[in-house]
Amino acid sequence: MAKDRIKRIAVFTSGGDAPGMNAAIRAVVRTAAYHDLHIFGINNGYEGMIDGDMRRLDIRDVGNIIYRGGTILKTARSMRFMTPEGRKHAYEALMAFDVDACIAIGGNGTFTGAKIFSEEYNIPIIGIPGTIDNDLYGTDYTIGYDTAVNTAVQAVDKIRDTADSHNRLFFVEVMGRNSGFIALSTGIASGAGNVLIPEVDTTLERLVELLRLGVKRKKMFGIIVVAEGNKLGSTQKIADKVKKAIDFYDTKVTIIGHMQRGGSPSALDRLLSSRLGFGAVEGLLAGHANEMIGLVNNEVVFTSFEDAITKEKKPNQNLVRMAEILAI
Report the catalytic residues.
133
Of residues 102 and 183, the one with the C-beta less far from ligand F6P: 183
Question: With respect to ligand F6P, which residue has the nearer C-beta, 131 or 230?
Answer: 131
The answer to whether 175 contacts ligand F6P (rule: CB under 6 A) is yes
* Residue 30 backbone dihedrals phi, psi, to 5 degrees: -75, -35
Site for ligand F6P (CB under 6 A): how many residues? 10
Binding part of the chain for ligand F6P, among 112-120, 174-182, 194-202, 213-221 by CB under 6 A, reads 174-182
| 3-state secondary structure (DSSP) of residue 214 | helix
Should residue 69 be labelled a site residue for ligand F6P when binding is judged by CB under 6 A?
Answer: no
| Contact call for residues 181 and 135 (beta carbons, < 8 A) | yes
**Applying CB under 6 A, which of residues 47, 100, 133, 282 lies at the interface with ligand F6P?**
133
- What CA–CA distances, in Å, run from 121 to 48, 53, 90, 113, 131? 18, 19, 10, 12, 26
74 binding ligand F6P? (CB under 6 A): no
Closest CA to 62 of 33, 105, 93, 36: 33
- By CB under 6 A, is residue 176 in contact with ligand F6P? yes
**Shortest distance, position 293 Cβ to ligand F6P, whole Å:** 19
User: Helix 145-166 vs helix 267-285: angle between axes, to the nearest 10 degrees?
Assistant: 160
Residue range at the interface with ligand F6P (CB under 6 A); choices 158-166, 173-181, 192-200, 276-284: 173-181
Q: Least distance to ligand F6P from the beta carbon of 108, Å?
A: 8
Contact flag: residue 129 with ligand F6P (CB under 6 A): no
**Dihedral through CA 208, CA 212, CA 218, CA 222, nearest 10?**
10
Longest dimension (CA), the chain: 71
Confirm if 176 and 133 have CB atoms less than 8 A apart: yes
**Beta bridge pairs of residue 255:** 173
Name which of 18 and 29 has its Cβ closer to ligand F6P: 18
Does residue 177 belong to the site contacting ligand F6P (CB under 6 A)? Answer: yes
Q: With respect to ligand F6P, which residue has the nearer C-beta, 177 or 314?
A: 177
Q: Is residue 131 part of the contact set for ligand F6P (CB under 6 A)? A: yes
